[in-house]
Amino acid sequence: MPKPNGPRSRWVQTEAAKHITPDSIRRRIAHEEKEIRDLTGLGLGRDVQMALDAHRELIRVLTERLADFG
């Protein structure tokens, strides 16, 4: 579990804050899904796994924010 104020958490918070409209959120989620697909092909090293976790966390946060609009 990441630290609440760790680097990954700060990155997720910073990136999520950039998207305030439903369209922007949807576009970023699609981008993050592509990033996950691209990273998955690189293998399962520690750095890759940490990046995958960060992208998944950002998708989770953005999905929750998108649900708030609906």
pLDDT tens-digit series, residues 5-64: 677 789 999 999 999 999 999 999 999 999 999 998 887 788 889 999 999 999 999 999
> When comparing pLDDT for 56 and 4, which is higher?
56
Distances, alpha carbon 69 to alpha carbons 21, 48, 63, in Å:
9, 32, 10
What does pTM read for this prediction?
0.86
Spatial distance between the Cα atoms of 5 and 28, rounded to a whole number of angstroms = 22
